[in-house]
């Protein structure tokens, strides 16, 4: 959520508990970053996990899309394109 502070998002989450073991140095760095963001360590970790899940789901989505791709059809479509003058100055090909 662009422009939304991490602390503001904390109230929107339903909660469950999970005991997490972090290396001391990793925990210290996460605490430092959470403080700099103006949020709690708990919320910082929640957002980090959500970002990782999002990245993995995105990678899976594009892998599946690539699997279904038809390169020959895509290239044929690109071959049909072109021949028109650019609509805006600066859009010319060099």
Give the start-to-end residue ranges of the domains of the chain. Answer: 21-80
What whole-number distance in Å separates Cα of residue 66 and Cα of residue 59? 11
Q: What is the reported pLDDT for 23?
A: 97
Q: What is the reported pLDDT for 91?
A: 84
Q: What is the reported pLDDT for 84?
A: 80
Q: What is the reported pLDDT for 83?
A: 75
Query: CB count, 10 Å around CB of 39?
Result: 19
Residue 86 is given by DSSP the state: P
pTM for the full model? 0.58
Ranges of the chain with pLDDT below 70: 1-13
What whole-number distance in Å separates Cα of residue 45 and Cα of residue 26? 11
What whole-number distance in Å separates Cα of residue 86 and Cα of residue 89? 7
């Amino acid at each position: 959520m662009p422009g939304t502070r991490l602390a503001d998002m904390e109230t929107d989450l339903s909660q469950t508990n999970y005991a997490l073991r972090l290396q001391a140095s990793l925990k210290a760095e996460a605490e430092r970053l959470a403080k700099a963001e103006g949020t709690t360590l708990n919320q910082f970790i929640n957002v980090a996990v959500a970002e990782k899940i999002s990245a993995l789901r995105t990678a899976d989505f594009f892998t599946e899309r690539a699997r279904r791709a038809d390169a020959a059809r895509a290239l044929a479509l690109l071959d049909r394109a072109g021949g028109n003058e650019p609509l805006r100055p600066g859009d010319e090909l060099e």
